[in-house]
Chain A
Amino acid sequence: MTVLPVGVMPPLPVAGPLAVAGLLLATGTRLPRRMPDVVAILVALAACVLCALMAMGSAHAPLVYWFGGWEPRHGLAIGIGFVVSPAGAWLGAFIALLFAATLLFAWGYFDAVHAHFHVLMLLFMAGMIGFCLTHDLFNLFVWFELMSVSAFALTGYALRTDALEGALNFTVVNTIGSYLILGGIGLIYLEVGALDFSALGRGVAAHPGDPAVAAAFALLASGLLTKGAQVPFHFWLSDAHAVAPSPVSVIFSGAMVSIGLYGVAVLDWTVFAGSAVVQHLVHTLLLGMGAASAAVGGVMALMQRHVKRLLAFSTISHAGILLVGLALSDGNGLSGMLVYLLGHGLVKGALFMVAGIMLASLGGIDELGLRGQGRRIWPAGLVMGFGGLLLAGMPVGLMDTGLERIELAMRDQHQIVVRVAVLTGMVCTGAAVLRVAGRVFVGWGPVSGEEECSPTDEEREKADRPLWLMMLPTVVLVALSLCGSHDADRIAWRAAALLMHPDGEAILGLATARPAVVAPWAAVPGSWLPWVATGLAVALSGLELFWHRLPRSLARGYDRASGPALGALGALHSGLVGDYVAWIAVGLALFVLA
């Protein structure tokens, strides 16, 4: 069936985009106008196909590729390897697909430039796929940096004032996160003397109670959680996602944030599985951070009127749910996290595309200012309303399947507070998106008199792109998030089992591969949570839109109850980079205390 042997594939989805990016940069000025668009989309699709083939090829045993043929000698990893597991490869395929859709959405978005946008996007994609496939801690850091630096450049790409300010905050905060990761790498290398994941895993298991190992995990996790936007490391996200060009925001929210969390999952299970201290940290502190992010992100989303910033906070909330799935540390939680990651990426990507359509067709992104103006682009409104219901947990599609798994794990472990936090996040983010859809595309809600004071300057994105061209990728993403949830659940169950029990001995050549231990798959019994969440979200969005029609005493009570606490929470998100760095220090202190 396949033209290429699976054994030589692992470097291709990374090396291909890097090579094409270089070629585009060299020849960009001489190419016909639409050529870079076509080339970039084709490369993304090719990477997607390659990753999917590798994912199917690695279903029973991981594909191992040592660069330059430097295979391990006597169990000592001397080279750098890619180890392709189904989880990493499917994630790579998803990333490449999201890039292809985004590049199609961005068709003709930037035309004054020599394909620089496409070069940066391809570098960004290569960094993310490399991050998913690598099996070496320092190599992981290099891919992480490649992805970060392209992300920084893409955020400020439009060179508008607020985009530059957001990009600065983003760069400073994330760079500090990178240095924390590097410090963690130094510490663990000092302790174990290896950088290969399997070798590290063996070394960590040999020093189970070592405080330096726990410190290394704290530093690595802080850096990755900064990328994964978890409370209290999340502050950069709402600035960066709100001001980046819409196609870039699609990738940021759909894939980049969740990739950081996938990194935590890989480190947790392949490197630190043998350390009881770290497992305890994951199960207590990270679980708490995830729950806090889910709740804080949801409430903050409800308070926004800048639609992209609202979606950015909703990403924080859903990333929190992902971290909850990871931190529950069992098969259901992890496999639920993997499916939820795909579903959320597709839905959130589509919602950011709708925000891009609003910026291009309506010339603004302020919810109050655009009241009722979206009627002429009603298809976008339909997608937004539907996306809101999916975020709230409507029981169809991938997001719901993932959530049911996470919910099962939460129920098994009697995590009542965490369940309430997750429910809050789902209800608030769903309600916020439904409220925007109702106000902008239907015209519901009162005229508040604040329409003119929009939180940002005049924003507009390039307008002369046809609506159908922008709607096509949006609809495709939503449709993908609805299909195949049953198969995805089975595949993720197996992928999670392989991720949780990596065969390190075989990768290092110390033993022959043992058959994978996969617990038999069983369908999740449906729960009441999705129905309750969807119902509450619809009710809450109705309350937000029509509270002025309530009896006056009730309306005043609603105002008074929600005012002060929300004001304080809003004031914390000050937009000042110094404050954000202070919160990083607080997060580090939390790791020390726990």
Chain B
Amino acid sequence: MPVGQALDHATSLLPWCVSAWLLGVGLYAILTSRHFVHLIGCLSVVQSSTYVLLLAAGYRKGAQAPIFYSHPPGIAVDPVLQALVLTDVVIGATVTALLLALVLQLHKRRGTLDPERLRPMRR
């Protein structure tokens, strides 16, 4: 069935396109951001591109979740990449929390969060 195969092919490419698109759109939004909280949100968008990439890399069509406690052993998706994504989520949460704390302190001191008006060195 050529139509079905073409469709399969297209759906297998989809996650890569989504990942690249998230990376591009996130970077563009960081470039043009005028508010640091918005910018941190965009950083999370960039990060989601890595989630999609890693999950897509580990995906096997028709395979079950890599949990063998209650299932019979069989073909499962790659658990290594899922572990990587979990670690990635933890790291992302740490960095976001730290950035928001920095931003909060900065807002207390400068009263603005516009990157244009906040520069470490005025030269």
Which residues does A use to contact B, with CB under 8 Å?
Answer: 138, 142, 145, 149, 152-153, 156, 159, 161-162, 164-169, 171-172, 175-176, 178-179, 182-183, 185-187, 189-190, 195, 238-239, 242-243, 306, 309, 455-456, 570, 574-578, 581-582, 584-585
Residues of B within 8 A of A187 (CB): 53, 57
Whether B53 lies near A183 (C-beta < 8 A) is: yes
Chain A residues within an 8 Å CB radius of B80: 189, 195
> Known contacts being A149-B95, A168-B99, A171-B95, is A242 close to B49, with CB within 8 Å?
no
Please encode chain B, from 91 to 120, with 1 for each CB lying within 8 Å of some chain A CB and 0 for all others.
100110011001101100110000110111
Residue contact B87 to A578, C-beta cutoff 8 Å: no
Task: Decide if B7 is an interface residue (CB 8 Å cutoff).
Answer: no
Q: Which residues of B contact A153 (CB under 8 A)?
A: 98
Main secondary structure of the interface of A (DSSP, over half): helix
- C-alpha spacing A171/B115, complex, angstroms: 14
Bound Cα distance from A195 to B87, whole angstroms: 15
**Which residues from chain A contact B76 at a C-beta distance below 8 Å?**
none
Compute how far the CA of A582 lies from the CA of B33 in the bound complex, rounded to whole angstroms.
Answer: 12
A163 closest partner in B (C-beta): B120
Residue pairs across A and B with CB atoms within 8 Å: the count is: 117
CB atoms of A577 and B98 under 8 A apart: no
Report whether A239 and B121 are in contact in the complex, using a CB–CB cutoff of 8 Å: yes
Return 24 A-B CB contacts under 8 Å, by A number.
Answer: A138-B87, A156-B105, A159-B105, A162-B120, A164-B102, A165-B119, A165-B120, A168-B103, A168-B106, A168-B118, A171-B98, A179-B46, A179-B50, A182-B84, A183-B23, A185-B84, A186-B54, A189-B81, A238-B121, A239-B120, A456-B121, A575-B119, A578-B32, A581-B27
List chain A residues, Cβ under 8 A from B110.
Answer: 161
B77 within 8 A of A: no
The answer to whether A455 and B122 touch (CB under 8 A), given A161-B106, A578-B33, A578-B115, is: yes
Closest Cβ of chain A: how far from B80's Cβ, in Å?
A: 7
Choose from A164, A189, A190, A578 the contact partner of B30 (Cβ within 8 Å).
A578
Bound complex: CA of A576 vs CA of B30, how far in Å? 11
Contact (Cβ within 8 A) B57 A165: no
Q: Report yes or no: B120 in contact with A138, Cβ–Cβ below 8 A.
A: no
Chain A residues whose CB sits within 8 angstroms of the CB of B84 once the complex forms: 138, 182, 185-186
**Inter-chain contact B54/A152, CB cutoff 8 Å:** no
Q: Which of B10-49 contact A (CB under 8 A)?
A: 19, 23, 27, 30-33, 36, 39, 43, 46-47, 49
Chain B residues with CB under 8 Å of A165's CB are 106, 118-120
CB pair B91 A171 closer than 8 Å: no
Which 8 pairs across A and B sit closest by C-beta, in order of nearness? Answer: A575-B119, A190-B57, A166-B120, A165-B120, A239-B120, A182-B50, A186-B53, A164-B106
Residues of B within 8 A of A182 (CB): 50, 54, 84, 88
The complex places the Cα of A520 from the Cα of B114 at a distance, in Å, of 59
**A residues near B61, Cβ cutoff 8 Å:** none
The interface residues of chain B lying within 8 Å CB-to-CB of A162 are 120-121
Which single residue of chain B is at the shortest CB-CB distance from A188? Answer: B57
A187 to B84, CA, bound (A): 13
In the assembled complex, the Cα of A129 lies from the Cα of B109 at a distance in Å of: 36
Residue B9 interfacial (CB < 8 Å): no
User: Which residue, A164, A171, A185, has most C-beta atoms of chain B within 10 A?
Assistant: A164
Q: Establish whether residues B95 and A175, one from each chain, have CB atoms under 8 Å apart when the complex forms.
A: yes
CA distance A469 to B120 in the complex (A): 30
Report if B71 contacts A (CB, 8 A): no
Residues of B within 8 Å of A189, CB to CB, are: 57, 80-81
> What is the bound-complex CA distance between A441 and B87, given in angstroms?
50
Determine the residue in chain A with the shortest Cβ distance to B31. A578
Contacts A142-B87, A165-B120, A175-B43 given; 6 further ones with Cβ under 8 A? A171-B98, A176-B27, A178-B91, A186-B54, A576-B119, A577-B39
* Residue from A152, A190, A309 in contact with B121 in the complex, judged by beta carbons closer than 8 Å: A309
Give every chain B residue within 8 A of A166 (Cβ-Cβ). Answer: 120
Q: By the criterion CB–CB under 8 Å, are B31 and A242 in contact? A: no
B109 engages A161 (CB within 8 Å): yes
Bound form: Cα–Cα A195–B81 in Å: 11
Q: How far is the CA of A581 from the CA of B23 in the complex (A)?
A: 12
* Residue in B43, B88, B109, B115 whose beta carbon sits within 8 Å of that of A164 in the complex: B109
